[in-house]
Amino acid sequence: MLLRNAWYIGAWADELGDKPLSRRICGDPVVLFRDSSGRAAALADRCCHRAAPLHLGKLVEAGIQCGYHGLVFDATGRCIAIPGQKLIPQDAQVRSYPTVERDQLVWLWMGDPSLADPTKIVDFPYHSDPAHWRNKHAVYPIKGNYMLMVDNLMDLTHLGYLHARTVGGNPGAHVAADMKTTRTPTGLKFTRWMRNSLPPPSYVKAAGFQGRVDRCQEFEFVAPNTILQWTGAADAGTATDNPQHDFRFQFRLFHGLTPETETSCFYFWSAANGYRQNDPEATEQLYREIAPTFLEDKEMVEAQQRRLDEFGEQDLVDIASDANRMHMRRMVERLIVGEQSAVAAK
Ligand code: FES
Ligand SMILES: [Fe+2]
């Protein structure tokens, strides 16, 4: 069951160019585009004339034109032109999804439009601050339920195993990391300290550490689909207890998961360099280190989904490192139950 009353990322802002973008979100075929004023829009990808997918059409001055018989729709989904006919029927309209562009992301509301509150969209001002946080982003399609990717980010003990060759480092250090979790009204935050640990190969490459490091990570999960990450490392013994300060090596990762279907999703992520801001090559290098790491996650989650398709969830066992993951799952389940009972009460 997918939660519909939530803001999901439909696209990176720079994906909306001179052609319509087709993407299935929460099971719905959606077409995304910008109108001539530059405003981002998302409509049901099905023409109200004969059901042709609108993404096969083209962008015109007034909006999007269906590629079959030329009906034109504006950003609200209203049909505003029918070739060869003056009268436009009242019901010549396709569904539009509330759309907000912010911090390089285009967010869509897939549920009841009357509940769409843009103040609930997660802030990530670092995307709009290239002077301090130069960043580069991507979107990975993943053949797995989006919650499997959220699970992945709630249990970092996988770093030492799945990512041993990249950002991982010593598995023992990850399992023994000093963890502190706090619950928030919209999710949870956790901090992981790995003091006096061996820096992973990617940290050495980026910051030239010679010996051991104090390594710290802060994660914030915002239900149901966003994880904001800060990571820092300093020469062992030099870091104070205050995360996000005094770290000569630090970066931020944004993780946004959007369900495509029950068993597939889009992983929108970015990497922001906070250590060599004046060096564009540092951002490229960070991106090149992170990108294959997330492909390792994608591959594992897709393999996991295949087993879940075959065997379901039965007989799976929870271990100590699942605590945050389980809290996160319970929270999203509560939101789904709340949404379902509100629908049933109508
Ligand atoms: S199907 Fe779109 S104009 Fe006919
Ligand atoms: Fe991972």
168 pLDDT above the threshold of 80: no
The pLDDT value recorded for residue 169 is 64
- C-alpha span between 58 and 46 (Å, rounded): 14
- C-alpha span between 275 and 252 (Å, rounded): 10
HSE, side-chain direction, 13 A CA sphere, residue 210: 0
What average pLDDT does range 155-182 have in this prediction?
A: 81
Report phi then psi at 237, rounded to 5: 90, -5
Q: Which pLDDT tens digit goes with each residue over 9-57?
A: 999 999 999 999 999 999 999 999 999 999 999 999 999 999 999 999 9
Residues with CB under 6 A from ligand 1: 47, 49-50, 52, 66, 68-71
What average pLDDT does range 66-83 have in this prediction?
A: 98
Residues 96, 101, 104, 105, CA torsion sign: negative
The pLDDT value recorded for residue 329 is 96
What average pLDDT does range 51-72 have in this prediction?
A: 97
The pLDDT value recorded for residue 203 is 85
Could you tell which of 43, 45, 47, 65 is best to mutate to test the pocket of ligand 1, judged by most ligand atoms within 8 Å of the CB?
Answer: 47
The pLDDT value recorded for residue 201 is 82
Q: Which long-range contacts (CB under 8 A, 24 or more apart) does 70-73 make?
A: 71/47, 73/43
DSSP code, position 61: T
Q: What is the dihedral of CA 149, 150, 151, 152, to 10 degrees?
A: 50
The pLDDT value recorded for residue 240 is 78
Instruction: Name residue 165's amino acid.
Output: R
Lowest-confidence pick of 115-119, 239-243, 250-254, 316-320: 239-243
Cβ-Cβ contacts under 8 Å for 143 (sequence gap 6 or more): 263, 264, 302, 305
Name the burial class of residue 100, with classes exposed (0-12), middle (13-18) and buried (19+) by CB atoms within 10 angstroms of its CB: middle
Lowest-confidence pick of 71-85, 92-106, 128-142, 191-205: 191-205
89 alpha carbon to ligand 1 midpoint, in Å? 14
129 pLDDT above the threshold of 90: yes
What average pLDDT does range 245-272 have in this prediction?
A: 94
**End-to-end alpha carbon distance in the chain:** 19
The pLDDT value recorded for residue 308 is 98
The pLDDT value recorded for residue 137 is 98
The pLDDT value recorded for residue 160 is 83
Of 129, 80, 146, 79, the closest CA to residue 298 belongs to: 146
The pLDDT value recorded for residue 244 is 74
What average pLDDT does range 132-158 have in this prediction?
A: 96
Lowest-confidence pick of 61-75, 82-96, 193-207, 328-342: 193-207
Q: Pick the atom of ligand 1 nearest to 57's CA.
A: 2
What average pLDDT does range 70-78 have in this prediction?
A: 98
99 alpha carbon to ligand 2 midpoint, in Å? 30
The pLDDT value recorded for residue 47 is 98
72 alpha carbon to ligand 1 midpoint, in Å? 9
- C-alpha span between 133 and 151 (Å, rounded): 27
The pLDDT value recorded for residue 263 is 98
% residues pLDDT > 70 (the chain): 98
Cis geometry, peptide bond prior to residue 292 (ω within 30 degrees of 0): no
HSE, side-chain direction, 13 A CA sphere, residue 87: 2
Q: Pick the atom of ligand 1 nearest to 50's CA.
A: 1
The pLDDT value recorded for residue 344 is 87
- C-alpha span between 241 and 190 (Å, rounded): 14
174 pLDDT above the threshold of 80: no
Q: Pick the atom of ligand 1 nearest to 54's CA.
A: 2
Q: Which pLDDT tens digit goes with each residue over 273-298?
A: 998 888 889 999 999 989 999 999 99
Instruction: Spell out the alpha helix ranges (H) of the chain.
Output: 146-154, 159-162, 171-175, 201-207, 280-311, 323-345
* 267 sits in which H/E element: strand 264-273
* Average pLDDT value over all residues in the chain: 94
Q: Pick the atom of ligand 1 nearest to 69's CA.
A: 3
Could you tell which of 46, 49, 56 is best to mutate to test the pocket of ligand 1, judged by most ligand atoms within 8 Å of the CB?
Answer: 49
Q: Which pLDDT tens digit goes with each residue over 148-167?
A: 999 999 998 898 899 887 76
The pLDDT value recorded for residue 165 is 77
Instruction: Name residue 291's amino acid.
Output: A
